[in-house]
Amino acid sequence: MDDSVVVATRRGIVVQAKERIAALREEFAQRHAVRFRRFLDRDLLDRVQDEIDSGAFAIREDEGIAIELCLEPSRALDILMFVMNTPQMFDVVRAISGCAPIEAFAGRIYRFDPAVHHRDSWHDDTSGAGASRLAGFSLNLSRRTYCGGTFQIREKGRPDDIVDVDNTGAGGAFLFCIAPQLQHRVLPVEGTNAKTAFAGWFVAK
């Protein structure tokens, strides 16, 4: 639904069209996810992608859940973590999701490369250290359009009622609900182009 309700720039988070927040809140309640089609402005996106190109990825495995390529510590991650850990961003997330007060955002930059084995299975992000996670967020940083890699979310009690979230536009993002009754996953990437994304969680105080 959204094109530019919230935009991240070098100057910080800019909230536009505040009157549309209520509609996003309703959509989030119904579908457990909302999209921000142009979250990262072009200038900041170019800078982050350039930093990623100069970085290195290593295989990361979350046993029993996922295998992916993860960007090692980099300036790109520093920039995005600074953007996400602002009071303005926390306010937007709470206004849309209705979640509890947010302490911080924790995230990583990962890649699904069709040439490298990768997978993601249904999971809920609430077990163990995930107990304080309130909402998830994913930002597309891919230079080229990829095939597959669709995000899916569903209610555990209704496993066949799946909501698909395609986010193939560079700089686009989506926010999704994390709760014990929900599960989500990312489908494999196919073809020749890789999917590169920044993903993580808003966590409670």
Mean pLDDT of the chain: 93
Q: What is the pLDDT of residue 131?
A: 80
59-63, 126-130, 144-148: which has the minimum mean pLDDT?
126-130
| pLDDT on residue 64 | 74
Among the listed residues 186, 174, 41, 46, the one whose alpha carbon sits nearest the alpha carbon of residue 111: 186
Is residue 130 pLDDT above 90, yes or no?
no
- The pLDDT tens digits for 84-127 are 999 999 999 999 999 999 999 999 999 999 999 998 999 998 87
DSSP 101: P
Inter-residue contact 53 to 71 (CB < 8 Å): no
Q: Output b/e per residue, 52-87; b: 16+ Cβ within 10 A.
A: beeeebeeeeeeeebbbbebeebebbebbbebbbee
151-171 average pLDDT score: 95
Q: Other C-beta atoms within 10 Å of 148: how many?
A: 16
**Amino acid in position 145:** T
**pLDDT band at 36, cuts 50/70/90?**
very high
Confidence at 5, pLDDT banded by 50, 70, 90: confident
* pTM listed for this prediction: 0.94
Q: What is the pLDDT of residue 3?
A: 57
Q: What is the pLDDT of residue 152?
A: 98
- What pLDDT is attached to residue 1? 43
Residue 105's nearest CA partner among 87, 117, 118 is: 87
Helix axes 21-31 and 87-97, enclosed angle (nearest 10): 60
Query: In the structure, what pLDDT confidence band is assigned to residue 57 with cuts at 50, 70 and 90?
Result: very high
Rounded mean pLDDT, 27-50: 96
